[in-house]
Structure 1
Amino acid sequence: MSSLPRYRPMDGYNVNPDHPTWGTLRQPLEYISTPEAYADNVSSTAGPHRNSARYISDVLFTSQFKFNVISGASGWFPYYGQFLAHDMILQASSNVTFHIPVPRCDMGYGFDPNCTGTATIPFTREGGSVTSRGYFQGQNLATSWLDLNLVYGLGDNRTSYLRTFSDGKMKTSQGPRGELLPFNLPLFDNAGPMTPNMFLAGDPRCNINLPLLALHTLFVLEHNKWATTFKQRNPTWDDETLFQEARRFTIAIHQKIAYYEYLPKLLAHGLEPYTAFNPNLSPAIDVAFMTAAFRYGHSSTNQQVYRMQESRVPVADGPLNVADTILNPQEYRVNGMDDVLRGLILEPEADADDNMVEGMRTHPILGDMAAVDIQRGRDRGVPDYNTVRQALGMPRARNWSDVTSNPEYQRRLAIAYNSVDDLDLYVGGLSEDKVGTGIIGPTFNALVTAQFLRTRDADPYFFMRPGLFSTDELNKIQNRSLSSMILDFTQVKWMPSDVFALEQIPTASSASSTSVATGFTGIFSPLPGYTVSWAITSDCVWTVQIVSTRGGWAGIGFGTQMAGSDVILCYMNGGAMTCVDSMVVGQFETAPTSDDEIGHTNDVLPGTVTGQILGGVLTAQFSRRCSTGDSIDHVITRAMTPMIFAHGPTPRPAQHGLFGRALGTVNLFTNQAALSNEDVFHLSTTSAAAFSSIGFIFLALQALTLLAIVGFRKTRAVFFQGPSLLITMLLGSMMISGTLILTTVEQSASICAWRLFLSSMGFSLIFATLLGKLYRYNKIFYNKSALTVKVTNVHIVSGTLIFLAVDAILCGIWIGVSPMKIASEAPNTCSDSLTATGISTVLLIVKGVILVGSVWLYRNLQALEGRTASMFKSDINMTGQISALSLLFLAILLLVNEVSTSTVFQRTILLIQCIAALFVSVVPYVWYACVKVVFLLDDRKARKSSHVSEAIASTNMAAKGYTSTKKTKGDTKVAGGTSVQLGDSTSESATAGDAADTKGLQSDVSKNFRIKLDEVQKALTEYNMYDQLAQKSSAKFNKLKSELLQMEAEMDFRNQ
């Protein structure tokens, strides 16, 4: 092969130097999988004796609308298929008409309201010519490579206008919430109205619908992102180099999404792995692929376009009708594309079948897309359904049941066609049963597989070909997705990693009707990744299909709680899907037991169980009669019925964790469905991530505070609060943060046990320590004169350890006597039993005693006033108020749980954890308490100043001679209630009398205190004797007085 240029040619010419015209524009569309079937073997349309395409559309494509619950695909899926199709195919048109006759009156569907019988739907034949092969071949005006020519254009004037020619970027316009495509100001040819209100892209069809327009926009913004990155790394590169390098990476990302995200879901198996470039393989577009198989997306389009706010709540104006968005991009001009992007991931893809929504069948511009697709196949000489199957090596269908297993489709097909051998390929392919969990049936599957293998293996620029990208570059390409583009280029804050997978709305309020055979079939998505659909036949057989993205097991049942519920559990057993009719026996036995193990019968109908686990998605189907005759089975009626739903990732039914259970109310006949208010936590994936993040943040803050307390334990601020007490409370707080994190992980027996121990012991470490502190304050202030037992920090920690031992014993007994079993009745919950009830009660009583004791001690301290009490008033208030609030919270939660259906374990964990969570703020408490110490001494000083004012006043009077001729007595009170006699004065120079009487001093005043008191007396004497030193003596007196008061406060606290 000749040397390959670094950059792919924009017009597709010379992509393969050995065959330079392969894949370029204006190449003929080939009959690769099947022969041509023109009526005259040259150009006359195929199937001239078949019924009108509009008649077939009226008969077949008005069947009941269904969502594709098997694949679990989102509303994004068909639109990305359309994006791929536009990248590979742009059919040339002609002036030759081939209008579609409309049946008289049009069966009431609107195209012949006056019943003239002459109405038609406009249709023109494809452009092309009779080639050397001897028959007509259409032209492809796009390159057949996956090269994003629909974004960049083909290197012509259109491409030039789309480029800025600065830093390698493409033009954009500013929308209300971000950048959008440029407007069509030069009025290039575009599908639809030729106005500057339309957007402009490399392909004229970009405005056909809003999701397609969004994809065009995202890839333009992705290109500009790469251009900016390369400019920053290579400032000397010119515009053309930047443009081509950015284009190179953007095309690679497009190919990655197509082959590794889109096609595996479409085909249910993906393609065989890529091996090498095949220079002798043509990428030509197959006519059968183009006109039938890859037009499946018209049937997969929904009637409405969801618009969602960031909260996943619909916008005030609700969804848009799809017909109103076709060739009308006004929504993006006014509101931007964010709401539509969110809505697409929450909107299920419509089933690719013999149904097409009215917005696609009765559009004033497009006409009837079902009829157009049928007519296009006839225009292009596509063979009938059986001929195509035979060409693909598949057996011919002999009757309608060979085409589809759906009796309603069989009936409608028999009305529309005279014979199976006359069936249009487009109609037959959509009628087929799906391949596994794929989107399409076997015939379309084969056609799509063959085309994309050719497109990939014939492309020397396919991104996985060795040597094109380095390992690091390939990693960057693999890490890009539509999800990351949306998050980067819009104001959307959350998007699942796979936008093609349906993200269910947890607050779903209704089920959707999905069948016309009985009128009772519905679909409901009570959980993220869990979809259940059902049908009830005329003889009252309930058929259920469950799709779970957790890929382990899934269950559905009747009841408001697991105890006493009638449950059907589905899982793989020995390589086959098994669905078991089960029952939760007794009040405390929560693990479901098979009905036949308890003397009843497994009433799942034999031969109705099917399913598989493919690609991590479980699909299970079973049937059961509305009334089985088994006394423990629920009888299905036309009333709203409480139902429970659960799924999990384990191979057999087990604890489903926080995200795996829902309770709803459903009418299986009328399809009404709603989620019920649950008595347990039920978080979305995003909420769980936030919950876990909060736990880690608290844990980090608590750990840092703990290190700070240990490091500064000898400083006055920390020492005054007691480092051991602060450390104890911080350890308890860290345990509670640990339970926040454990709540969000997949539950197991060991996780349940850890949550029980951590939450219970963390509570005790926090609140038992607070109880000890309040007890010490009571001992200090009510028993000071006769203290025989000092309440030290060691005593408080020891008391806390006693409560901790009680917790360990109670929890140990719970685990030992009634081991944790992985129950399935509620998320965030472990096993329940009579023993568990008793232990739970004792645990809650112990916690209540701690809180009640704290509140009672706090109440006693409320009346305290005075010297040391005032210093610790703020700490007392904070400690007591937290305990009081927690006690009130405990009472409220007990009252609420008394009428709920939570299990004992659930109730216990939540009560303890929620109350203790109030004190997760122990970090700010610790810092507040330590900082408060700095201000305590100043507060003490202010309160004591009034007690020495008399002494200062008396001294000043003596110094000024007011007591020279008369005897006065001055008593002043100093700390501890001790009277200090200042003495008698008989003259101006009289000195102080006898030394201060110290008999009133308390017995436990230390020697240092006495020394300081003597110095105070000396200072007062100096005041009386030396008038000139009065000011200096006063300052010294104040200093000594302050030291005296400080020492007294410290002595009081240390003695306790």
Structure 2
Amino acid sequence: MCVWDSGKSLIWNGISKIEFDKALQQGLEKLKEEEDAMMRSPKVLLNTPSYRHFRLVSFPENYNNISRLGQLSDELTKYFIREKPDRRFNISSVNVAENEEFKEYCRSSKSQICLHHQYRSIDGSCNNIKHPDWGTSMRPFLRLMPPEYCDGVSEPRCGSRAELPPARDVTLKLHRANYKSDHRFNFMFAVWGQFIDHDITATAITRLINGQMVSCCGSTGIDKCYPVILSEDDPIFILYNTTCMEFVRSTPAPRCTLGPREQLNQQTSFLDGSVIYGSNVELSRRLRSFQGGRMAVTVSEDGKDLLPVSIDLTDGCNREEEAAKGRYCFLAGDVRANENLHLTTLHLIMVRHHNRIASQLQQLNPKWDDERTYQETRRIVTAQVQHITYRELLVPLLGEKVMESYDLTVRTSTYSTVYDDTINPSITNNFATSSFRFAHSLLPGLMKSYENTSPDSLTLLRKIFFNPFPLYTPGSLDRILMSAVGTDVQKANRFFTTEVTQHLFEEPQNSTEPKKCGLDLVSMNIQRGRDHGLPGYPKWRVYCNLPPVKEFNDLKKFMDDESIEALQRLYKTVDDIDLYSGSLSETPLKGSILGPTATCLIAEQFRRTKFGDRFWYDANAGPHSLTSDQIREIKKTTLARIVCVNSDDVKEVPENLLLFSSISNKNVQCEHLADIDLAPWSEM
């Protein structure tokens, strides 16, 4: 707050207005210099692997001012720490919410008068009446412990005794390929995990005002750049004569009090179907038909519903040769929907599912208008997404014992979740940046072919990236679904297929342009953790109340010798081990597919997601809640049934669609799978 001192000079939290204005001016000048430098710098070429990646995670241009405020927060914090070193340890007491630059952002949610609406807001606001901004889109990730930046404010984490090993070296020496399938899980397990990850997390990076992406490998002196450096013995260096992989730092989040950098989540933190419906009003309206509560679709040549299309030829997915045939990439509630063919297929299934439910509700309630039908359908579909995630994904992922200890188990009783308005459901920074990225290790190098060929044919994983075009071919939807159901995943561990460490987002094989080298997803994950200032792996074990790690020998209790040796060759001290690499090197817990640290951090997030959501499907949290009869029907939901009734003509699937068919998970005829009864929603 601002007060007047005896000399009539305005004081801003112990800082005079004159000095604050000076800091603000210097900060704005620094931002202008950075923007000018980025405009002058080389740009990433259209439709290269790096361009595709940037378009997946780049900040929407209409939110550029939020990015600007985040950078200004950094500059103000650094100025006062530099000029007033005595303020370093209480810099968070400097409140800038009333400054003209920050006022609108800081008041945009805090000042909301939240009413007890029957339906969720699209952007997640007012889910918590006391804290309207908790879980809202375009807000900072939550920290479970303070960040560790090299300069204490914003510079990427550095080593405690020596430089951290280059992220790419960690990939090559620790996260190499070692193909061992996990025959319990099929590829749909990874696809559903990615689907719900995109529902709750989307880290943003800044792009230029004109939509271009700065080339960090071709630039110097740009704070936003943090490229991945390659050594001379790197396979990519040898094959493509390149020493650098593009990497732009995440957009800093604005802060209403000064302090270390935070990062923005573009999605709502709630498991609310925003991956289907969008997490801002503008997008959500683009996705609706405004007829009978249904979502917008396009219709294929054979009369089947497809997702609406995106005709932007610079979106990183569309190709001129496909556009010439009238085949475009698709528009969905999340910009990453086209990232791989199987993910696009799941988006399509869920939009078809929404429209199927909406049509049934209209028949039951002909007096309902479009808005009522849409909102009731959205509520049902969201409830089903929550139920599938906790019943079919998390149980095999975390194990029944962990599910029980964190109270994540789906109960047979109707109202079985107690909403707690003191729990902040916001996605934690470590979950978005590290812990839930474990699924990248599941990805196989070869997929069962979705093409109309022999049942034993296989296709490289790289062929499904940014390639939704097979969905235009009649009969392909079912083959793509069965490809995911029939392909097993790799074991969740420290090993990754070269399809994602050397060939990520590569050009299609039939491209007429010179082939450009793919990206390394693992190096980018490690680099992102450092960019976000995630503390080293041992501190997360302490957070999870696990036995502490003080030296490399301590790792022997929960890691194999080969992993420890690789880590010791890379890191000078055990304290410097990156969370991503350390947690994936642990031996899995009994009943879980992950080690204790990743299991703890994932379970902690899903506990927040469940108990911090006022609209959770089986919580009795007010008049907006589902009735007991409605909840009883929702708990009949299976992903298998949803895929069956919304595919073109799938006849048989495993009972749990995320697990490989087996004695305990037999294939079932679609007609024998229970469907939910919508009679409890009838008002006739």
Q: TM-score, normalised by structure 1?
A: 0.46
Offset of residue 464 of structure 1: 0.4
Q: In 2, distance between residues paired with 1:333 and 1:317? A: 23
Q: In 1, distance between residues paired with 2:331 and 2:614? A: 30
* SS of match in other structure, 2:263: strand
Q: Is the contact between residue 101 and residue 121 of structure 1 (CA under 8 Å) also seen in structure 2?
A: yes
Deviation by residue 1:450-490 (Cα, 9 ceiling, x = unmatched): 11111111111000012622233223212222111111011
Alignment partner, residue 481 of structure 2: 341
Deviation by residue 1:187-215 (Cα, 9 ceiling, x = unmatched): 39856448761111011000011221122
Q: Is the contact between residue 62 and residue 356 of structure 1 (CA under 8 Å) also seen in structure 2?
A: yes
Alignment partner, residue 55 of structure 2: none
1:376 paired residue among 504, 507, 528: 528
Offset of residue 180 of structure 1: 4.8
* SS of match in other structure, 1:104: coil
Offset of residue 307 of structure 1: 3.6
Q: In 1, distance between residues paired with 2:302 and 2:229? A: 45
Alignment partner, residue 189 of structure 2: 77
1:283 paired residue among 425, 431, 436: 425
1:154 paired residue among 279, 284, 289: 279
What one-letter code is carried by the residue in structure 1 that aligns with 2:365?
A: N
User: Radius of gyration: which is bigger?
Assistant: 1
Q: In 1, distance between residues paired with 2:442 and 2:136? A: 30
Alignment partner, residue 325 of structure 1: 464
Alignment partner, residue 105 of structure 1: 233
What one-letter code is carried by the residue in structure 1 that aligns with 2:263?
A: G
Alignment partner, residue 635 of structure 1: none
Q: Is the contact between residue 443 and residue 497 of structure 2 (CA under 8 Å) also seen in structure 1?
A: yes
| Structure 1 residues 1027-1038: aligned runs within 5 Å | none
After superposition, the Cα gap between the structure-2 partners of 1:373 and 1:340, relative to the gap in structure 1 and judged at 3 Å, is same
* SS of match in other structure, 2:419: coil
After superposition, the Cα gap between the structure-2 partners of 1:194 and 1:395, relative to the gap in structure 1 and judged at 3 Å, is farther
Q: In 2, distance between residues paired with 1:93 and 1:43? A: 15
Alignment partner, residue 480 of structure 1: 637
What one-letter code is carried by the residue in structure 2 that aligns with 1:430?
A: L
Alignment partner, residue 801 of structure 1: none
Q: Is the contact between residue 654 and residue 660 of structure 2 (CA under 8 Å) also seen in structure 1?
A: no
Q: In 1, distance between residues paired with 2:562 and 2:483? A: 31
After superposition, the Cα gap between the structure-2 partners of 1:482 and 1:405, relative to the gap in structure 1 and judged at 3 Å, is same
Q: In 1, distance between residues paired with 2:194 and 2:488? A: 17
Q: Is the contact between residue 269 and residue 609 of structure 2 (CA under 8 Å) also seen in structure 1?
A: yes
2:307 paired residue among 149, 158, 182: 182
After superposition, the Cα gap between the structure-2 partners of 1:424 and 1:685, relative to the gap in structure 1 and judged at 3 Å, is closer
Offset of residue 114 of structure 1: 6.2
Alignment partner, residue 386 of structure 1: 538
Alignment partner, residue 611 of structure 1: none
Deviation by residue 1:723-750 (Cα, 9 ceiling, x = unmatched): xxxxxxxxxxxxxxxxxxxxxxxxxxxx
Offset of residue 175 of structure 1: 4.2
* SS of match in other structure, 2:299: strand
* SS of match in other structure, 1:465: coil
Deviation by residue 1:846-894 (Cα, 9 ceiling, x = unmatched): xxxxxxxxxxxxxxxxxxxxxxxxxxxxxxxxxxxxxxxxxxxxxxxxx
Offset of residue 415 of structure 1: 2.7
Q: In 1, distance between residues paired with 2:130 and 2:360? A: 34
What one-letter code is carried by the residue in structure 2 that aligns with 1:127?
A: T
1:498 paired residue among 652, 656, 670: 656
**Tell me, which stretches of 5 or more residues in structure 2 are unaligned?**
1-112, 208-223, 410-415, 506-517, 673-684
1:268 equivalent in alignment to 2:399: yes
After superposition, the Cα gap between the structure-2 partners of 1:408 and 1:439, relative to the gap in structure 1 and judged at 3 Å, is same
After superposition, the Cα gap between the structure-2 partners of 1:403 and 1:206, relative to the gap in structure 1 and judged at 3 Å, is farther
Alignment partner, residue 626 of structure 2: 469
Alignment partner, residue 250 of structure 2: 126
1:15 paired residue among 127, 144, 157: 127
1:64 equivalent in alignment to 2:178: yes
Offset of residue 317 of structure 1: 8.4
After superposition, the Cα gap between the structure-2 partners of 1:184 and 1:173, relative to the gap in structure 1 and judged at 3 Å, is closer
Q: Is the contact between residue 449 and residue 458 of structure 2 (CA under 8 Å) also seen in structure 1?
A: yes
Q: Is the contact between residue 306 and residue 314 of structure 1 (CA under 8 Å) also seen in structure 2?
A: no
Alignment partner, residue 786 of structure 1: none
What one-letter code is carried by the residue in structure 2 that aligns with 1:124?
A: V
Deviation by residue 1:424-458 (Cα, 9 ceiling, x = unmatched): 11001111111113221110111111111111111
After superposition, the Cα gap between the structure-2 partners of 1:44 and 1:66, relative to the gap in structure 1 and judged at 3 Å, is same
Deviation by residue 1:913-970 (Cα, 9 ceiling, x = unmatched): xxxxxxxxxxxxxxxxxxxxxxxxxxxxxxxxxxxxxxxxxxxxxxxxxxxxxxxxxx
Offset of residue 345 of structure 1: 2.2
Q: In 2, distance between residues paired with 1:3 and 1:417? A: 52
* SS of match in other structure, 1:349: strand
Alignment partner, residue 348 of structure 2: 217
Q: In 1, distance between residues paired with 2:367 and 2:450? A: 44
After superposition, the Cα gap between the structure-2 partners of 1:464 and 1:186, relative to the gap in structure 1 and judged at 3 Å, is same
After superposition, the Cα gap between the structure-2 partners of 1:175 and 1:268, relative to the gap in structure 1 and judged at 3 Å, is farther
Q: In 1, distance between residues paired with 2:557 and 2:205? A: 33
Q: In 2, distance between residues paired with 1:151 and 1:81? A: 15
* SS of match in other structure, 1:97: coil
* SS of match in other structure, 2:236: coil
Deviation by residue 1:730-782 (Cα, 9 ceiling, x = unmatched): xxxxxxxxxxxxxxxxxxxxxxxxxxxxxxxxxxxxxxxxxxxxxxxxxxxxx
1:433 paired residue among 576, 587, 590: 587
* SS of match in other structure, 2:350: helix
* SS of match in other structure, 2:564: helix
After superposition, the Cα gap between the structure-2 partners of 1:233 and 1:85, relative to the gap in structure 1 and judged at 3 Å, is same
Q: In 2, distance between residues paired with 1:239 and 1:465? A: 26
Alignment partner, residue 1020 of structure 1: none
Alignment partner, residue 738 of structure 1: none
What one-letter code is carried by the residue in structure 2 that aligns with 1:439?
A: I
After superposition, the Cα gap between the structure-2 partners of 1:51 and 1:192, relative to the gap in structure 1 and judged at 3 Å, is farther
2:154 paired residue among 43, 55, 77: 43
What one-letter code is carried by the residue in structure 2 that aligns with 1:486?
A: V
Q: In 1, distance between residues paired with 2:552 and 2:271? A: 39
Q: In 2, distance between residues paired with 1:403 and 1:162? A: 51
Q: In 1, distance between residues paired with 2:280 and 2:538? A: 42
Alignment partner, residue 335 of structure 2: 204
* SS of match in other structure, 1:495: strand
2:608 paired residue among 439, 442, 454: 454
Q: In 1, distance between residues paired with 2:275 and 2:602? A: 20
Offset of residue 410 of structure 1: 2.8
Q: In 1, distance between residues paired with 2:667 and 2:317? A: 42
Q: Is the contact between residue 312 and residue 318 of structure 2 (CA under 8 Å) also seen in structure 1?
A: no
After superposition, the Cα gap between the structure-2 partners of 1:122 and 1:448, relative to the gap in structure 1 and judged at 3 Å, is same
Alignment partner, residue 443 of structure 1: 597
Q: Is the contact between residue 177 and residue 498 of structure 2 (CA under 8 Å) also seen in structure 1?
A: no
What one-letter code is carried by the residue in structure 2 that aligns with 1:113?
A: L
**Tell me, which stretches of 5 or more residues in structure 1 are unaligned?**
504-527, 530-548, 551-683, 691-1056
1:399 paired residue among 539, 548, 552: 552
Q: Which has the higher strand share?
A: 1
Q: Is the contact between residue 105 and residue 114 of structure 1 (CA under 8 Å) also seen in structure 2?
A: no
| Structure 1 residues 769-788: aligned runs within 5 Å | none
After superposition, the Cα gap between the structure-2 partners of 1:191 and 1:308, relative to the gap in structure 1 and judged at 3 Å, is closer
Q: In 1, distance between residues paired with 2:654 and 2:130? A: 43
1:354 equivalent in alignment to 2:494: yes
After superposition, the Cα gap between the structure-2 partners of 1:275 and 1:485, relative to the gap in structure 1 and judged at 3 Å, is closer
Q: In 1, distance between residues paired with 2:560 and 2:569? A: 15
Q: In 1, distance between residues paired with 2:303 and 2:644? A: 12
